[in-house]
Amino acid sequence: MKTRLFWSMGILGLVLFMAAGCTPSRVKWDKAAMLEVKKAAVVLYTVPISVQYRDDPKETKKSMLQMAAAVANTNNGGHAATLAAQTFAQSLNEQNLSFKVMTPQEEMNNSAFVALTKKTVATNAEEKSKMEAERTKSQGGMAKALGFLATVGKSTGSNPYHEGVGPDGFPEFGLAPEWSHAPSALMGAPGEKEYVKAAIAALGVDAAIVVNDMGMSFGCTSCVGGTGSGTTGSAFLVTVVDKDGEEILQMRQWFSIGGAQAAMVTYVVNPLQHDSLFKGHGEKMARVFADYYREEGGK
């Protein structure tokens, strides 16, 4: 009897431990400062350059078959970010939170913000171009080839993090290489904090929302050999920054089933259904954000 009780308690403890591991706690939350925020704007929404299949959105490991299938999804991140960021903002406004959010589409109707994003995108591109030119000049032959392979998927600028992509017209400052240890959605890259503060001023909002979705990926539910019902997964960080550049909320969350489903065959999602998956991804992220926000005492 005692053995059975001990075993049951052990199983219960393991389940509780696993459940706790599935819902990582926030890193920082200034509730008083958040209550001062009445209007915010999503000014950075960074995802991988290519949204590809992952067994686990928190991990980047792939089988040979999955790597072969990834060729079908090259450079689709910008389009994914554009659709997901829009529905993320729209869906947040449907969650009855204490603040409203400008959508990216509304932001791009603001001439001052558009001028800021164009300048920032150009500056970042120029910096990366200079760094790449310096690397190419200092390398030759086999060393050049090896150097290129070593930097695939990483930023070529002074930002040491993985290069990502944002919605159309928006800049990016990098993706965190590891979701579980990154303390903030901000990467600390040159010009990043300045851009965020300038965006807040240009848009006339109380705070900026920064999303770093390094785990945005295709996933599969009820699959056999990569064939079944396709969806999207996420391992993301959200940071809210006030007018003074202070980080008043940091959230780390993930999900393995997005807000939409599509046909998947051998790890490849039907291209005609990508848009619905990307839109559903933003909607699901907003629900996860809002649920966790309320659970932790936000309003």
Is pLDDT at 24 greater than 50 in this prediction? yes
pLDDT grade for 161, boundaries at 50, 70 and 90: low
Query: How many whole angstroms separate alpha carbon 288 and alpha carbon 124?
Result: 31
Give which of 89, 113, 110, 84 is closest to 101, Cα–Cα: 89
Task: Please give the pLDDT value at position 79.
Answer: 97
For the cut 70, the answer to whether the pLDDT of residue 148 exceeds it is no
Distance CA 277, CA 182 (A): 26
Mean pLDDT, all residues of the chain: 83
- Cα dihedral 289, 242, 114, 217, rounded to 10, equals -30
Query: What's the pLDDT score for residue 153?
Result: 40
For 170-199, write each residue's pLDDT tens digit.
Answer: 999 999 888 988 889 999 999 999 999 999
Q: Where are the domains of the chain?
A: 25-295
Residue pair 227/160 in contact (Cβ under 8 Å)? The answer is no
Closest by CA to 201, choosing from 65, 41, 53, 84, is 41
Longest dimension (CA), the chain: 74
Q: How many helices (H) and strands (E) does the chain have?
A: 9, 10
Q: pTM of this prediction?
A: 0.83
pLDDT band at 62 (very low <50, low <70, confident <90, very high): low
